[in-house]
Structure 1
Amino acid sequence: MSVVKSFAVGAGDMCYIRHGSDNFTIIDCDLSDENADRIIDELRRASADKGVSRFISTHPDEDHFGGIHLLDDAMPILNFYVVKNQAIKDVETESFTRYCQLRDSEKAFHIYKGCSRKWMNDKDDERGSAGINVLWPDLSNAYFKEAMASCNAGESYNNVSAVIRYSIKDGPSFLWLGDLETEFMESISDSINLPKTTVVFAAHHGRNSGKIPNSWLEKLDPQIIVIGEAPSRHLNYYTGYKTITQNMAGDITMHCEGNKVHFYSSNLNYWHKGLK
Protein backbone atom coordinates (compact mmCIF):
# COMPACT_ATOMS: atom_id res chain seq x y z
CA MET A 1 0.00 0.00 0.00
CA SER A 2 1.25 3.48 -0.88
CA VAL A 3 0.77 6.41 1.50
CA VAL A 4 0.78 10.08 0.53
CA LYS A 5 0.80 12.67 3.32
CA SER A 6 0.46 16.44 3.16
CA PHE A 7 1.49 18.23 6.35
CA ALA A 8 -0.29 21.35 7.55
CA VAL A 9 2.70 23.66 7.94
CA GLY A 10 1.02 27.04 7.60
CA ALA A 11 1.59 29.05 4.41
CA GLY A 12 4.06 26.49 3.05
CA ASP A 13 4.17 23.01 1.56
CA MET A 14 5.53 19.66 2.69
CA CYS A 15 4.52 16.17 1.56
CA TYR A 16 5.92 12.68 1.57
CA ILE A 17 5.20 9.51 -0.37
CA ARG A 18 5.76 6.10 1.16
CA HIS A 19 5.77 4.11 -2.06
CA GLY A 20 4.60 0.54 -2.51
CA SER A 21 8.08 -0.13 -3.90
CA ASP A 22 11.39 0.30 -2.05
CA ASN A 23 11.21 4.10 -2.37
CA PHE A 24 10.50 7.09 -0.13
CA THR A 25 10.02 10.62 -1.43
CA ILE A 26 9.76 14.00 0.29
CA ILE A 27 8.38 16.90 -1.76
CA ASP A 28 9.34 20.34 -0.40
CA CYS A 29 9.53 21.28 3.28
CA ASP A 30 8.63 24.11 5.61
CA LEU A 31 9.97 23.17 9.02
CA SER A 32 10.10 25.38 12.10
CA ASP A 33 11.08 25.05 15.74
CA GLU A 34 7.42 24.27 16.47
CA ASN A 35 6.90 21.40 14.03
CA ALA A 36 10.35 20.05 13.11
CA ASP A 37 10.75 17.38 15.81
CA ARG A 38 7.28 15.93 15.23
CA ILE A 39 7.54 15.85 11.44
CA ILE A 40 11.12 14.56 11.30
CA ASP A 41 10.26 11.77 13.75
CA GLU A 42 7.41 10.71 11.47
CA LEU A 43 9.61 10.87 8.37
CA ARG A 44 12.18 8.64 10.07
CA ARG A 45 9.55 6.05 10.95
CA ALA A 46 7.88 6.16 7.55
CA SER A 47 11.15 5.75 5.64
CA ALA A 48 12.93 3.31 7.97
CA ASP A 49 12.45 0.24 5.77
CA LYS A 50 12.98 1.94 2.40
CA GLY A 51 16.21 1.51 0.45
CA VAL A 52 16.02 4.72 -1.60
CA SER A 53 15.02 8.17 -0.34
CA ARG A 54 14.85 11.39 -2.35
CA PHE A 55 13.96 15.01 -1.73
CA ILE A 56 12.21 16.89 -4.55
CA SER A 57 12.43 20.67 -4.45
CA THR A 58 9.75 22.24 -6.65
CA HIS A 59 11.34 25.72 -6.61
CA PRO A 60 13.66 27.97 -4.55
CA ASP A 61 11.19 29.76 -2.27
CA GLU A 62 11.58 29.86 1.52
CA ASP A 63 8.12 28.40 2.19
CA HIS A 64 9.10 25.34 0.14
CA PHE A 65 12.59 24.71 1.58
CA GLY A 66 12.27 26.32 5.02
CA GLY A 67 14.13 24.35 7.68
CA ILE A 68 15.83 22.11 5.15
CA HIS A 69 18.99 22.37 7.25
CA LEU A 70 17.08 20.78 10.15
CA LEU A 71 15.93 17.94 7.91
CA ASP A 72 19.35 17.45 6.32
CA ASP A 73 21.08 17.37 9.71
CA ALA A 74 18.63 14.80 11.10
CA MET A 75 18.13 12.72 7.91
CA PRO A 76 20.99 13.44 5.50
CA ILE A 77 19.62 14.16 2.01
CA LEU A 78 21.53 11.96 -0.43
CA ASN A 79 19.36 12.54 -3.51
CA PHE A 80 18.31 16.15 -4.09
CA TYR A 81 16.02 16.59 -7.10
CA VAL A 82 15.92 20.20 -8.28
CA VAL A 83 15.26 22.37 -11.31
CA LYS A 84 18.68 23.71 -12.27
CA ASN A 85 18.92 27.34 -11.19
CA GLN A 86 21.21 30.00 -9.78
CA ALA A 87 18.64 31.77 -7.60
CA ILE A 88 19.89 34.54 -5.36
CA LYS A 89 18.27 36.18 -2.32
CA ASP A 90 18.68 39.59 -0.71
CA VAL A 91 18.61 37.84 2.68
CA GLU A 92 20.41 34.49 2.83
CA THR A 93 18.81 32.45 5.58
CA GLU A 94 20.32 29.26 7.00
CA SER A 95 17.73 27.33 5.00
CA PHE A 96 18.68 29.05 1.73
CA THR A 97 22.38 28.50 2.38
CA ARG A 98 21.76 24.75 2.84
CA TYR A 99 19.46 24.67 -0.20
CA CYS A 100 22.28 26.17 -2.31
CA GLN A 101 24.80 23.70 -0.92
CA LEU A 102 22.56 20.79 -1.90
CA ARG A 103 21.61 22.37 -5.26
CA ASP A 104 25.24 22.83 -6.23
CA SER A 105 26.53 19.51 -4.87
CA GLU A 106 27.03 16.08 -6.41
CA LYS A 107 23.85 15.03 -4.61
CA ALA A 108 21.77 17.12 -7.02
CA PHE A 109 19.85 15.59 -9.91
CA HIS A 110 18.43 18.19 -12.29
CA ILE A 111 14.80 17.53 -13.18
CA TYR A 112 12.98 18.60 -16.33
CA LYS A 113 10.10 17.49 -18.52
CA GLY A 114 10.41 13.80 -19.39
CA CYS A 115 13.60 13.11 -17.44
CA SER A 116 14.27 9.57 -16.22
CA ARG A 117 16.28 8.11 -13.37
CA LYS A 118 16.61 4.99 -11.31
CA TRP A 119 14.47 4.48 -9.39
CA MET A 120 12.30 7.53 -9.82
CA ASN A 121 10.56 6.17 -12.91
CA ASP A 122 12.93 3.44 -14.07
CA LYS A 123 12.99 -0.01 -12.49
CA ASP A 124 15.51 -2.82 -12.60
CA ASP A 125 16.08 -6.21 -10.99
CA GLU A 126 17.12 -4.54 -7.74
CA ARG A 127 13.95 -2.52 -7.06
CA GLY A 128 10.82 -1.15 -8.67
CA SER A 129 10.02 2.32 -9.92
CA ALA A 130 8.69 5.02 -7.60
CA GLY A 131 6.15 6.01 -10.26
CA ILE A 132 7.21 9.67 -10.33
CA ASN A 133 7.30 11.65 -13.56
CA VAL A 134 8.25 15.26 -14.21
CA LEU A 135 5.76 17.01 -16.52
CA TRP A 136 7.44 20.43 -16.38
CA PRO A 137 9.68 22.42 -16.94
CA ASP A 138 10.41 22.31 -20.63
CA LEU A 139 13.87 23.87 -20.64
CA SER A 140 13.46 25.08 -24.22
CA ASN A 141 10.16 26.89 -23.58
CA ALA A 142 10.39 30.67 -23.98
CA TYR A 143 8.07 31.38 -21.03
CA PHE A 144 10.16 29.14 -18.79
CA LYS A 145 13.39 30.78 -19.92
CA GLU A 146 11.93 34.16 -19.01
CA ALA A 147 10.84 32.84 -15.59
CA MET A 148 14.29 31.37 -14.96
CA ALA A 149 15.98 34.66 -15.82
CA SER A 150 13.74 36.36 -13.25
CA CYS A 151 14.59 33.67 -10.69
CA ASN A 152 18.33 33.96 -11.23
CA ALA A 153 18.09 37.74 -10.89
CA GLY A 154 16.43 37.33 -7.49
CA GLU A 155 13.14 38.85 -8.65
CA SER A 156 10.56 36.02 -8.67
CA TYR A 157 10.77 32.26 -8.12
CA ASN A 158 7.22 30.91 -8.50
CA ASN A 159 7.16 30.17 -12.22
CA VAL A 160 10.26 27.97 -12.26
CA SER A 161 8.25 25.41 -10.25
CA ALA A 162 8.38 21.81 -11.39
CA VAL A 163 5.15 19.89 -12.05
CA ILE A 164 5.47 16.46 -10.42
CA ARG A 165 3.09 13.55 -10.97
CA TYR A 166 2.98 10.34 -8.93
CA SER A 167 0.89 7.49 -10.31
CA ILE A 168 0.18 3.95 -9.18
CA LYS A 169 -0.41 1.28 -11.81
CA ASP A 170 -4.16 0.61 -12.03
CA GLY A 171 -4.61 3.01 -9.11
CA PRO A 172 -4.82 6.69 -8.18
CA SER A 173 -2.50 9.51 -9.18
CA PHE A 174 -1.35 12.77 -7.56
CA LEU A 175 -0.06 16.08 -8.94
CA TRP A 176 2.06 18.84 -7.36
CA LEU A 177 2.31 22.28 -8.99
CA GLY A 178 4.58 24.20 -6.63
CA ASP A 179 3.74 27.90 -6.75
CA LEU A 180 2.96 28.29 -10.45
CA GLU A 181 0.88 31.39 -11.15
CA THR A 182 -2.34 31.37 -13.16
CA GLU A 183 -1.14 33.56 -16.03
CA PHE A 184 1.98 31.42 -16.47
CA MET A 185 -0.05 28.18 -16.46
CA GLU A 186 -2.33 29.59 -19.12
CA SER A 187 0.66 30.58 -21.27
CA ILE A 188 2.10 27.04 -21.28
CA SER A 189 -1.21 25.17 -21.53
CA ASP A 190 -0.43 23.85 -25.01
CA SER A 191 3.13 22.90 -24.06
CA ILE A 192 2.46 20.54 -21.16
CA ASN A 193 0.88 17.09 -21.17
CA LEU A 194 -1.69 16.82 -18.36
CA PRO A 195 -3.15 13.32 -17.91
CA LYS A 196 -6.30 12.79 -15.87
CA THR A 197 -5.23 12.83 -12.20
CA THR A 198 -7.08 11.75 -9.07
CA VAL A 199 -5.75 14.24 -6.49
CA VAL A 200 -4.31 17.63 -7.39
CA PHE A 201 -2.57 19.89 -4.88
CA ALA A 202 -3.63 23.43 -5.77
CA ALA A 203 -0.83 25.74 -6.91
CA HIS A 204 0.47 28.49 -4.62
CA HIS A 205 -1.23 26.99 -1.54
CA GLY A 206 -4.66 27.47 -3.13
CA ARG A 207 -4.34 31.23 -3.58
CA ASN A 208 -6.30 33.07 -6.27
CA SER A 209 -2.94 34.04 -7.78
CA GLY A 210 -2.27 30.34 -8.46
CA LYS A 211 -5.76 29.29 -9.53
CA ILE A 212 -5.44 26.33 -11.86
CA PRO A 213 -6.92 27.53 -15.17
CA ASN A 214 -9.87 25.76 -16.76
CA SER A 215 -7.67 24.71 -19.69
CA TRP A 216 -5.71 22.59 -17.18
CA LEU A 217 -8.65 21.40 -15.08
CA GLU A 218 -10.49 20.07 -18.13
CA LYS A 219 -7.54 17.80 -18.88
CA LEU A 220 -6.74 16.84 -15.29
CA ASP A 221 -10.40 16.23 -14.34
CA PRO A 222 -9.41 15.85 -10.63
CA GLN A 223 -11.64 14.01 -8.18
CA ILE A 224 -10.16 15.99 -5.27
CA ILE A 225 -8.30 19.32 -5.14
CA VAL A 226 -6.30 19.87 -1.95
CA ILE A 227 -6.19 23.55 -0.99
CA GLY A 228 -3.35 24.73 1.24
CA GLU A 229 -3.26 27.02 4.23
CA ALA A 230 -3.09 30.46 2.69
CA PRO A 231 -5.36 33.01 4.45
CA SER A 232 -9.01 32.30 3.60
CA ARG A 233 -9.49 35.67 1.92
CA HIS A 234 -6.83 34.74 -0.64
CA LEU A 235 -8.10 31.23 -1.42
CA ASN A 236 -9.90 30.01 -4.52
CA TYR A 237 -12.35 27.24 -3.64
CA TYR A 238 -12.77 25.73 -7.14
CA THR A 239 -16.55 25.76 -7.51
CA GLY A 240 -17.76 22.54 -9.13
CA TYR A 241 -14.92 20.38 -7.77
CA LYS A 242 -14.58 18.43 -4.55
CA THR A 243 -11.98 20.09 -2.35
CA ILE A 244 -10.26 19.50 0.98
CA THR A 245 -8.88 22.59 2.69
CA GLN A 246 -5.93 22.14 5.01
CA ASN A 247 -7.06 25.17 7.01
CA MET A 248 -9.84 22.89 8.25
CA ALA A 249 -8.48 19.34 7.82
CA GLY A 250 -4.94 19.83 9.16
CA ASP A 251 -2.53 17.07 8.11
CA ILE A 252 -4.06 14.93 5.35
CA THR A 253 -2.98 11.29 5.04
CA MET A 254 -4.03 9.34 1.95
CA HIS A 255 -3.85 5.54 1.95
CA CYS A 256 -3.97 4.09 -1.56
CA GLU A 257 -5.56 0.64 -1.79
CA GLY A 258 -6.46 -0.72 -5.20
CA ASN A 259 -8.25 2.05 -7.07
CA LYS A 260 -9.38 3.83 -3.90
CA VAL A 261 -7.88 6.58 -1.76
CA HIS A 262 -8.77 6.60 1.95
CA PHE A 263 -8.47 10.09 3.45
CA TYR A 264 -7.54 10.74 7.09
CA SER A 265 -7.56 14.14 8.77
CA SER A 266 -5.54 15.11 11.85
CA ASN A 267 -8.47 17.32 12.90
CA LEU A 268 -10.79 14.89 14.68
CA ASN A 269 -13.70 17.31 14.25
CA TYR A 270 -13.31 17.58 10.47
CA TRP A 271 -15.72 15.84 8.15
CA HIS A 272 -16.40 16.00 4.41
CA LYS A 273 -19.95 15.61 3.15
CA GLY A 274 -18.74 14.75 -0.36
CA LEU A 275 -16.80 11.63 0.69
CA LYS A 276 -18.04 8.32 2.05
Structure 2
Amino acid sequence: MSIVKSLSVGEGDMFYIKHNSDNFTVIDCCLEEGKEDDIINEIKAESKNIGICRFISTHPDEDHIQGLEYINKEWPILNFYCVENKATKEGPSNSFKEYCNLRDSDKAFYLFKGCSRKWMNKSDEERGSSGLNVLWPITDNEDFKEQLKLVKEGKSPNNISPIIRYKAGDCKFLWMGDIETTFLEKVKDNIDFEEVDILFAPHHGRESGKVPNDILEKLNPKIIIVGEAPSKDLNYYSKYNTITQNSAGDIIFDVYEKRIDIYVGNSNYSVDFLEDKGKTKFDSYIGSLVI
Protein backbone atom coordinates (compact mmCIF):
# COMPACT_ATOMS: atom_id res chain seq x y z
CA MET A 1 0.00 0.00 0.00
CA SER A 2 1.20 3.52 -0.80
CA ILE A 3 -0.24 7.04 -0.64
CA VAL A 4 -0.11 9.63 -3.41
CA LYS A 5 -1.33 13.09 -2.45
CA SER A 6 -1.93 16.05 -4.74
CA LEU A 7 -2.01 19.11 -2.52
CA SER A 8 -4.28 22.04 -3.25
CA VAL A 9 -1.82 24.95 -3.25
CA GLY A 10 -3.52 27.55 -5.40
CA GLU A 11 -2.28 27.97 -8.96
CA GLY A 12 0.72 25.69 -8.51
CA ASP A 13 1.74 22.05 -8.13
CA MET A 14 2.82 20.00 -5.16
CA PHE A 15 2.62 16.25 -4.56
CA TYR A 16 4.04 13.65 -2.26
CA ILE A 17 4.28 9.88 -2.42
CA LYS A 18 4.55 7.71 0.66
CA HIS A 19 5.86 4.57 -1.01
CA ASN A 20 5.40 1.04 0.27
CA SER A 21 9.18 0.54 0.24
CA ASP A 22 10.84 2.82 2.82
CA ASN A 23 10.87 5.68 0.30
CA PHE A 24 9.23 9.12 0.43
CA THR A 25 9.06 11.53 -2.51
CA VAL A 26 7.98 15.15 -2.83
CA ILE A 27 7.32 16.41 -6.36
CA ASP A 28 7.46 20.21 -6.75
CA CYS A 29 6.29 22.76 -4.21
CA CYS A 30 4.16 25.88 -4.10
CA LEU A 31 3.83 27.02 -0.51
CA GLU A 32 0.95 29.43 -0.20
CA GLU A 33 1.34 32.17 2.37
CA GLY A 34 -0.30 31.03 5.57
CA LYS A 35 -0.18 27.31 4.69
CA GLU A 36 3.58 26.79 4.84
CA ASP A 37 3.74 25.32 8.32
CA ASP A 38 0.72 23.06 7.83
CA ILE A 39 2.27 21.55 4.70
CA ILE A 40 5.75 21.21 6.18
CA ASN A 41 4.36 19.59 9.32
CA GLU A 42 2.39 17.12 7.21
CA ILE A 43 5.46 16.21 5.16
CA LYS A 44 7.51 15.77 8.33
CA ALA A 45 4.86 13.54 9.87
CA GLU A 46 4.34 11.40 6.77
CA SER A 47 8.07 10.93 6.14
CA LYS A 48 9.00 10.24 9.75
CA ASN A 49 11.20 7.16 10.17
CA ILE A 50 11.43 6.63 6.39
CA GLY A 51 14.94 5.82 5.20
CA ILE A 52 15.12 7.54 1.80
CA CYS A 53 13.50 10.92 1.09
CA ARG A 54 13.85 12.77 -2.20
CA PHE A 55 12.61 16.00 -3.76
CA ILE A 56 11.86 16.01 -7.50
CA SER A 57 11.73 19.40 -9.20
CA THR A 58 10.10 19.17 -12.62
CA HIS A 59 11.22 22.69 -13.61
CA PRO A 60 12.05 26.01 -11.94
CA ASP A 61 8.89 28.05 -12.55
CA GLU A 62 7.85 29.89 -9.40
CA ASP A 63 4.55 27.98 -9.10
CA HIS A 64 6.59 24.74 -8.86
CA ILE A 65 9.40 25.93 -6.54
CA GLN A 66 7.77 28.58 -4.34
CA GLY A 67 8.99 28.09 -0.78
CA LEU A 68 11.76 25.66 -1.72
CA GLU A 69 14.15 27.51 0.59
CA TYR A 70 11.71 27.08 3.48
CA ILE A 71 11.26 23.37 2.80
CA ASN A 72 15.02 22.85 2.66
CA LYS A 73 15.42 24.65 5.97
CA GLU A 74 12.65 22.77 7.79
CA TRP A 75 12.93 19.39 5.99
CA PRO A 76 16.51 19.22 4.71
CA ILE A 77 16.70 17.96 1.13
CA LEU A 78 19.46 15.37 0.82
CA ASN A 79 18.41 14.02 -2.59
CA PHE A 80 17.43 16.64 -5.17
CA TYR A 81 16.24 15.31 -8.54
CA CYS A 82 15.96 17.54 -11.60
CA VAL A 83 16.86 17.73 -15.27
CA GLU A 84 20.42 18.97 -15.74
CA ASN A 85 20.18 22.58 -16.88
CA LYS A 86 21.66 26.07 -16.55
CA ALA A 87 18.39 28.00 -16.25
CA THR A 88 18.70 31.68 -15.35
CA LYS A 89 16.17 34.33 -14.43
CA GLU A 90 16.26 38.11 -14.31
CA GLY A 91 15.66 39.25 -10.75
CA PRO A 92 15.69 35.70 -9.32
CA SER A 93 13.51 34.94 -6.30
CA ASN A 94 14.88 33.31 -3.16
CA SER A 95 13.18 30.10 -4.24
CA PHE A 96 14.94 30.15 -7.62
CA LYS A 97 18.27 30.85 -5.93
CA GLU A 98 17.67 27.83 -3.69
CA TYR A 99 16.79 25.74 -6.75
CA CYS A 100 20.09 26.70 -8.40
CA ASN A 101 22.05 25.95 -5.25
CA LEU A 102 20.52 22.47 -5.00
CA ARG A 103 20.71 21.85 -8.76
CA ASP A 104 24.43 22.58 -8.81
CA SER A 105 25.27 20.78 -5.55
CA ASP A 106 26.44 17.27 -4.77
CA LYS A 107 22.88 16.53 -3.61
CA ALA A 108 21.63 16.65 -7.20
CA PHE A 109 20.74 13.65 -9.33
CA TYR A 110 19.96 14.46 -12.95
CA LEU A 111 16.96 12.86 -14.61
CA PHE A 112 16.91 11.48 -18.14
CA LYS A 113 15.09 8.75 -20.01
CA GLY A 114 15.91 5.34 -18.57
CA CYS A 115 18.06 6.61 -15.71
CA SER A 116 18.40 4.31 -12.73
CA ARG A 117 19.42 4.79 -9.14
CA LYS A 118 19.24 3.01 -5.87
CA TRP A 119 16.45 3.23 -4.59
CA MET A 120 14.53 5.23 -7.14
CA ASN A 121 14.01 2.20 -9.34
CA LYS A 122 16.61 -0.29 -8.12
CA SER A 123 16.05 -2.58 -5.14
CA ASP A 124 18.56 -4.37 -2.95
CA GLU A 125 18.60 -6.34 0.28
CA GLU A 126 18.33 -3.09 2.29
CA ARG A 127 15.10 -1.71 0.77
CA GLY A 128 12.84 -1.92 -2.24
CA SER A 129 12.49 0.39 -5.21
CA SER A 130 10.28 3.47 -5.08
CA GLY A 131 8.72 2.49 -8.42
CA LEU A 132 9.67 5.73 -10.20
CA ASN A 133 10.87 5.68 -13.81
CA VAL A 134 11.74 8.51 -16.20
CA LEU A 135 10.36 8.40 -19.77
CA TRP A 136 11.76 11.75 -20.92
CA PRO A 137 14.02 13.69 -21.63
CA ILE A 138 16.52 12.26 -24.06
CA THR A 139 19.34 14.66 -23.35
CA ASP A 140 20.92 14.59 -26.80
CA ASN A 141 17.60 15.21 -28.59
CA GLU A 142 17.97 18.36 -30.67
CA ASP A 143 14.58 19.80 -29.70
CA PHE A 144 15.36 19.28 -26.02
CA LYS A 145 18.82 20.82 -26.42
CA GLU A 146 17.16 23.87 -27.93
CA GLN A 147 14.98 24.19 -24.81
CA LEU A 148 18.07 23.97 -22.60
CA LYS A 149 19.59 26.80 -24.60
CA LEU A 150 16.46 28.91 -24.16
CA VAL A 151 16.27 28.42 -20.38
CA LYS A 152 19.93 29.37 -20.10
CA GLU A 153 18.91 32.65 -21.75
CA GLY A 154 16.17 33.14 -19.14
CA LYS A 155 13.21 31.88 -21.20
CA SER A 156 10.37 29.68 -19.92
CA PRO A 157 11.53 26.36 -18.42
CA ASN A 158 8.22 24.53 -19.08
CA ASN A 159 9.65 22.29 -21.77
CA ILE A 160 12.57 20.95 -19.77
CA SER A 161 10.03 19.10 -17.60
CA PRO A 162 10.69 15.37 -17.30
CA ILE A 163 7.96 12.77 -17.76
CA ILE A 164 7.82 10.49 -14.72
CA ARG A 165 5.85 7.29 -14.20
CA TYR A 166 5.11 5.77 -10.82
CA LYS A 167 3.97 2.17 -10.49
CA ALA A 168 2.65 0.60 -7.30
CA GLY A 169 1.22 -2.89 -7.70
CA ASP A 170 -0.76 -2.74 -10.94
CA CYS A 171 -1.55 0.98 -10.48
CA LYS A 172 0.23 3.55 -12.64
CA PHE A 173 0.52 7.35 -12.32
CA LEU A 174 2.08 9.81 -14.76
CA TRP A 175 3.48 13.33 -14.25
CA MET A 176 4.49 15.61 -17.13
CA GLY A 177 5.31 18.88 -15.33
CA ASP A 178 4.37 21.90 -17.43
CA ILE A 179 5.42 20.45 -20.78
CA GLU A 180 3.54 22.24 -23.57
CA THR A 181 1.44 20.79 -26.38
CA THR A 182 3.57 22.17 -29.20
CA PHE A 183 6.73 20.68 -27.72
CA LEU A 184 5.09 17.31 -27.01
CA GLU A 185 4.07 17.14 -30.67
CA LYS A 186 7.72 17.53 -31.67
CA VAL A 187 9.17 14.84 -29.40
CA LYS A 188 6.32 12.34 -28.92
CA ASP A 189 7.84 9.69 -31.18
CA ASN A 190 10.83 9.48 -28.81
CA ILE A 191 8.71 8.67 -25.74
CA ASP A 192 7.48 5.20 -24.82
CA PHE A 193 3.91 5.94 -23.82
CA GLU A 194 2.02 3.11 -22.11
CA GLU A 195 -1.39 2.94 -20.45
CA VAL A 196 -1.75 4.69 -17.10
CA ASP A 197 -4.49 4.87 -14.51
CA ILE A 198 -4.00 8.41 -13.20
CA LEU A 199 -2.66 11.18 -15.46
CA PHE A 200 -1.83 14.55 -13.94
CA ALA A 201 -2.62 16.88 -16.84
CA PRO A 202 0.47 18.91 -17.79
CA HIS A 203 0.55 22.65 -17.16
CA HIS A 204 -2.18 22.28 -14.51
CA GLY A 205 -4.66 21.21 -17.20
CA ARG A 206 -4.29 24.40 -19.20
CA GLU A 207 -5.14 24.36 -22.90
CA SER A 208 -1.50 25.25 -23.62
CA GLY A 209 -0.47 21.89 -22.15
CA LYS A 210 -3.24 19.73 -23.59
CA VAL A 211 -2.02 16.21 -24.27
CA PRO A 212 -2.45 15.46 -28.01
CA ASN A 213 -5.17 12.96 -28.84
CA ASP A 214 -2.83 10.33 -30.28
CA ILE A 215 -0.84 10.33 -27.04
CA LEU A 216 -4.03 10.13 -24.97
CA GLU A 217 -5.05 7.07 -26.98
CA LYS A 218 -1.79 5.36 -26.00
CA LEU A 219 -2.05 6.43 -22.36
CA ASN A 220 -5.74 5.57 -22.13
CA PRO A 221 -5.95 7.18 -18.66
CA LYS A 222 -8.73 6.00 -16.38
CA ILE A 223 -8.77 9.43 -14.68
CA ILE A 224 -7.19 12.75 -15.64
CA ILE A 225 -6.47 15.18 -12.81
CA VAL A 226 -7.05 18.74 -13.99
CA GLY A 227 -4.96 21.02 -11.79
CA GLU A 228 -5.51 24.46 -10.36
CA ALA A 229 -5.57 27.33 -12.84
CA PRO A 230 -8.13 29.95 -13.92
CA SER A 231 -11.17 28.14 -15.37
CA LYS A 232 -10.91 30.12 -18.60
CA ASP A 233 -7.47 28.59 -19.27
CA LEU A 234 -8.35 24.95 -18.58
CA ASN A 235 -9.01 22.08 -20.94
CA TYR A 236 -11.44 19.75 -19.20
CA TYR A 237 -10.69 16.63 -21.30
CA SER A 238 -14.42 16.09 -21.89
CA LYS A 239 -14.01 12.60 -23.35
CA TYR A 240 -12.31 11.31 -20.20
CA ASN A 241 -13.15 10.86 -16.53
CA THR A 242 -11.68 13.81 -14.66
CA ILE A 243 -11.21 15.17 -11.16
CA THR A 244 -10.80 18.94 -11.10
CA GLN A 245 -8.62 20.16 -8.26
CA ASN A 246 -10.10 23.66 -8.38
CA SER A 247 -13.28 22.08 -7.01
CA ALA A 248 -12.00 18.96 -5.23
CA GLY A 249 -9.23 20.52 -3.14
CA ASP A 250 -6.57 18.13 -1.83
CA ILE A 251 -6.72 14.69 -3.47
CA ILE A 252 -5.51 11.54 -1.71
CA PHE A 253 -4.95 8.32 -3.65
CA ASP A 254 -4.74 5.34 -1.30
CA VAL A 255 -3.07 2.77 -3.55
CA TYR A 256 -3.40 -1.00 -3.23
CA GLU A 257 -2.34 -3.81 -5.57
CA LYS A 258 -5.32 -3.47 -7.91
CA ARG A 259 -7.37 -0.63 -6.41
CA ILE A 260 -7.07 3.08 -5.72
CA ASP A 261 -9.33 4.58 -3.04
CA ILE A 262 -9.78 8.32 -3.61
CA TYR A 263 -10.48 11.04 -1.05
CA VAL A 264 -10.79 14.81 -1.54
CA GLY A 265 -10.63 17.93 0.59
CA ASN A 266 -14.06 19.23 -0.40
CA SER A 267 -16.76 17.13 1.30
CA ASN A 268 -19.34 18.33 -1.25
CA TYR A 269 -17.36 17.12 -4.27
CA SER A 270 -18.45 13.93 -6.04
CA VAL A 271 -18.05 11.99 -9.29
CA ASP A 272 -20.15 9.24 -10.86
CA PHE A 273 -17.49 6.98 -12.41
CA LEU A 274 -15.95 5.37 -9.30
CA GLU A 275 -17.06 2.28 -7.38
CA ASP A 276 -18.34 2.77 -3.86
CA LYS A 277 -16.36 0.50 -1.53
CA GLY A 278 -17.46 2.35 1.60
CA LYS A 279 -13.94 3.36 2.62
CA THR A 280 -13.34 5.62 5.65
CA LYS A 281 -9.55 5.75 6.09
CA PHE A 282 -9.54 9.50 5.38
CA ASP A 283 -12.29 12.11 5.20
CA SER A 284 -14.45 12.71 2.12
CA TYR A 285 -14.17 9.41 0.25
CA ILE A 286 -15.54 9.75 -3.30
CA GLY A 287 -15.02 6.18 -4.54
CA SER A 288 -12.52 3.60 -5.74
CA LEU A 289 -10.87 2.91 -9.08
CA VAL A 290 -10.56 -0.86 -9.53
CA ILE A 291 -7.74 -1.80 -11.91
TM-score higher than 0.5 here? yes
In structure 2, the residue corresponding to 1:25 is in which secondary structure? strand
Q: Does 1:208 align with 2:215?
A: no
The 8 Å contact of residues 225 and 243 in structure 1, kept in 2 or not, is answered as: yes
Q: Deviations over 1:192-223 (max 9, x none)?
A: 00111110000000000000111211111100
Contact 2:168 2:256 in 1 (8 A): no
Would you say how many aligned residue pairs link Structure 1 and Structure 2? 275
Question: Map of 1:47-58 to 2, 5 A cutoff?
Answer: 47-58=47-58
Indicate if the aligned counterparts of 2:10 and 2:32 stay in contact, CA closer than 8 A.
Answer: no
Contact 2:160 2:179 in 1 (8 A): yes
Q: Distance in 2 between matches of 1:220 and 1:91?
A: 39
Q: How does 1:248-267 map to 2 (within 5 A)?
A: 248-267=247-266
2:140 partner SS = coil
Deviation at 1:155, TM superposition (A): 1.2
TM-superposed deviation, 1:142 = 1.1
- Partner in structure 1 of residue 86 of structure 2: 86
Counterpart secondary structure, 1:135: strand
Q: 1:108 — aligned with what?
A: 108
Please tell me whether the aligned partners of residues 151 and 157 of structure 2 are also in contact (alpha carbons under 8 angstroms): yes
Residue identity opposite 2:79 in structure 1: N
- Residue 258 of structure 1: CA displacement? 2.1
Q: Percent identity?
A: 53
TM-score by length of 1: 0.98
Contact 1:189–1:215, Cα closer than 8 Å, also in 2? no
Alignment of 1:54-203 (within 5 A): 54-169=54-169, 171-203=170-202
Q: In structure 2, the residue corresponding to 1:188 is in which secondary structure?
A: helix
Tell me, in whole angstroms, the C-alpha distance in 2 between the residues paired with 1:127 and 1:235.
Answer: 40
How many angstroms does 1:11 deviate by? Answer: 1.1
> Could you report, residue by residue, the CA deviation over 1:154-210 in whole angstroms, capped at 9, with x for unpaired residues?
0121100011110023x2110000000001111111110011111000000000000
- The one-letter code matched in structure 2 to 1:191 is N
Q: Deviations over 1:61-108 (max 9, x none)?
A: 111111001110100000000101111111211111111110111000
Cα offset, 1:49, TM superposition? 2.4
Task: Please give the per-residue CA displacement for 1:106-142, whole angstroms capped at 9, x wherever unaligned.
Answer: 0000110100000000010100000000111100111
TM-score (ref. length: structure 2) = 0.93
Hey, what does 2:285 align to over in structure 1? none
**Equivalent residues of 1:246, 1:252 under 8 A apart:** yes
Q: Distance in 2 between matches of 1:41 and 1:188?
A: 39
Aligned mates of 1:91, 1:203 — CA distance in 2: 26
Distance in 2 between residues matched to 1:142 and 1:156, nearest whole Å: 17
Residue type at the aligned position of 2:180: E
Partner Cα distance (2:232, 2:33) in 1:
27
CA distance in 1 between counterparts of 2:141 and 2:28 reads 24
For 1:241 and 1:16, the matched residues in 2 are separated by 24
**RMSD, aligned CA:** 0.8
- Displacement of 1:32 after TM fit? 2.8
Task: For 2:32 and 2:229, locate their aligned partners in 1 and report how far apart those are by CA, in whole Å.
Answer: 17
Deviation track 1:16-61 (CA, whole Å, cap 9, x = no partner) reads 0000001000000001322111111111111102100000011111
Q: Distance in 2 between matches of 1:127 and 1:230?
A: 38
Query: Does the CA-based 8 Å contact 2:226-2:243 persist in structure 1?
Result: yes
- What SS is found at the alignment partner of 2:73? helix
Partners of 2:85 and 2:257 in 1: how far apart? 38
Distance in 2 (CA, whole Å) between partners of 1:160 and 1:99 is: 14
One-letter code aligned to 1:224: I
Q: CA shift at 1:240, angstroms?
A: 1.1
1:270 aligns with 2:269: yes
The one-letter code sitting in structure 2 at the alignment partner of 1:134 is V
In structure 2, distance between residues paired with 1:258 and 1:100? 38
